[in-house]
Amino acid sequence: MLFVKPFDNLNKFLFSLPELAHAGRLPATADTMLLTGSYPPLYDRDMSSASWFAAYVTAYVERDVRQLLKIQELETFQRFVRLCAGRTGQLLNLSSLATECGITHNTSKAWISVLEASYLVFLLRPHHANFNKRLVKMPKLYFYDAGLVSWLLGIRTPEQIETHPLRGNIFETFIISELTKSQFNQGERPPFSFWRDSNGNEIDLIVEQSAGLMPIEIKSGKTLTRDSFVGLEKWCALAADKAMRPSLIYGGSEAYERKEVRVVGWQQSGELLNKT
């Protein structure tokens, strides 16, 4: 069955960045990477990503979904999947998703479970440490593959993705998926969460380790400004001695240190947690 594999075997049906780099198949730009994604057939077959994703989604919906939940309204489910793609990297509001798709809240919840069970999407839970702040309680929705998200959103060229309003969300999806794969490749389940208070202050990823909490910010731009580091600085001040060395992953290629922040380009993001 497509997608339905043991969770620890995620690396067996999605290439990681180090694997693509080792094989000499790593795309030259982040935009091409976001468009292509990480499914192996896109790198060992002579076919366009758009054609492959179209066939893949059709096979998934027409075969796997029928087996998983016996969904009769396949067109409505396909629309649901596309609506989910438009919400990748965002807080999951099941009621809003249900209303826009024309289904019940319970159906929306069940269909999200189907997407999780078939390893199209995963939910990132909010971190529990409030540091005297009110925190959001909803999880964030992510797809495992950014290329699939791009296809579902109708993006077909690197030029389109470069100016797409959801490019930041797609890039964040890509990076968090890469970090997830890196953990599975080490035989670990990702100790990941995000932190966001009621005022909108947020850290994209919190990695819980024995020595403390490692904050990671993700920026899709090719260059960084002073403002790119403000969120990390505020969170580290709140977390105090619980904060470990912060990292920032961005859409550029250089790796360097800025004050106490480790800055890593997108190509090296899959190895970031191997160096902690």
Q: How many CB atoms lie within 10 A of CB 6?
A: 8
Please report, rounded to a whole number, the percentage of residues in the chain having pLDDT higher than 70: 92
Q: Options 1.10.10.10, 3.40.50.300, 2.40.30.10, 3.40.190.10; which CATH number does 7-165 get?
A: 1.10.10.10
The pLDDT-based confidence of 20 (bands split at 50, 70, 90) is very high
The pLDDT-based confidence of 275 (bands split at 50, 70, 90) is low
Residue 255 has pLDDT above 90, yes or no: yes
pTM: 0.92
Residue 207 has pLDDT above 60, yes or no: yes
Kind of pairing between the strands at 212-219 and 247-250:
parallel
Average pLDDT over residues 227-245: 93
Q: Which of 179, 175, 174, 173 is nearest to 273 (CA)?
A: 179
Distances (CA, A) of 121 to 92, 107, 109, 196, 241: 12, 16, 13, 21, 34
C-beta of residue 232 within 8 angstroms of C-beta of residue 246: yes
pLDDT in tens, 117-147: 888 999 999 998 777 677 788 999 999 999 9
pLDDT value at residue 276: 53
pLDDT value at residue 101: 93
CA dist 108 and 167 (Å) reads 25
Q: How many CB atoms lie within 10 A of CB 260?
A: 12
pLDDT value at residue 8: 43
Q: Which of 91, 16, 34, 30 is nearest to 221 (CA)?
A: 30
Write out the residue limits of the CATH 1.10.10.10 domain(s) in the chain: 7-165
Average pLDDT over residues 239-264: 94
Q: What does the DSSP 8-state code read for residue 127?
A: P
Between 9 and 18, the more confident residue is: 18
pLDDT in tens, 176-193: 999 998 888 777 788 899
Q: How many CB atoms lie within 10 A of CB 36?
A: 23
Q: Which of 81, 30, 84, 88 is nearest to 60 (CA)?
A: 81
Residue 269 amino acid letter: S
pLDDT value at residue 11: 46
